[in-house]
Amino acid sequence: MLFKMDQFQNDHLFFILFVDILKTAATIQDNYDAFRKVIGVDFHPLEITLHMRQKDSILWEKINESALLWGILFGFGKINSYLFQWQHFDHPETTSEFCKNIVSFTNDDLLKGRVKYTIDQFSIPAFKSFNEIDPVVNNFREEKNRIQEIYKGQDFLQLTLKKLTE
């Protein structure tokens, strides 16, 4: 599924999402309890995934408001997603001082202000990691290397269009 998501308060902000329907539904199923808690009702993961592009989806409106669920959906890992949610949005007042001091790491030059916008230098997704050596970050780096190998010596646009229509 490919669509533009522009459900933000800012008219100039939107995402273009490429969604692998089956992987997204499986990810939601694997984390059903977390999604159920935010959504507040029982649902079928495949059905909710197929309704992702509908602007009037009350269920996706609730998901869009959860940093935890987006972290899980974007593949940032359960630990990183929960810790980010707790540190910034959802912690008891008695833990505020502790949460302010949780050590985190940036995993990409995008967050460090050194960005190169070329095919050879594309970055992994930028997110907050809570482990200096993070298996999620390592996985993204390995995927990046595999993608770079696929594109090596290829016409970027032609190969991308071919991949999107396979």
For residue 32, name the pLDDT band (cuts at 50, 70, 90).
very high
The pLDDT score that the predictor gives to residue 7 is 59
The pLDDT score that the predictor gives to residue 165 is 79
**Is residue 8 pLDDT above 60, yes or no?**
no
The pair of three-digit structure tokens given for residue 98, joined into one six-digit string? 């502790």
| Residue found under tokens 């970055």 | 123
pTM surpassing 0.75? no
Report yes or no on 95 lying in a domain.
no
Q: Are residues 6 and 60 in the same domain?
A: yes
Report yes or no on 76 lying in a domain.
no
Q: Which residue, 40, 65, 90, sits at the end of a domain?
A: 65
Report yes or no on 128 lying in a domain.
yes
Report yes or no on 81 lying in a domain.
no
Domain that holds residue 138: 105-164
Terminal C-alpha separation, the chain: 13
Domain count, the chain: 2
Residue-wise pLDDT tens digits, 85-126: 888 887 888 888 888 887 777 766 555 555 555 566 666 677
Contact yes or no for 60/52 (Cβ under 8 A)? yes
Report yes or no on 43 lying in a domain.
yes
Round to whole Å and give the CA distance between 164 and 161.
Answer: 5
Residue-wise pLDDT tens digits, 39-53: 899 999 999 899 887
Instruction: Read off the DSSP letter of residue 96.
Output: H
The pLDDT score that the predictor gives to residue 137 is 84
Report yes or no on 46 lying in a domain.
yes
Q: Which helix (H) or strand (E) holds 18?
A: strand 15-18
The average pLDDT across 153-160 equals 86
Helix 32-39 and helix 21-30: axis angle, to 10°? 90
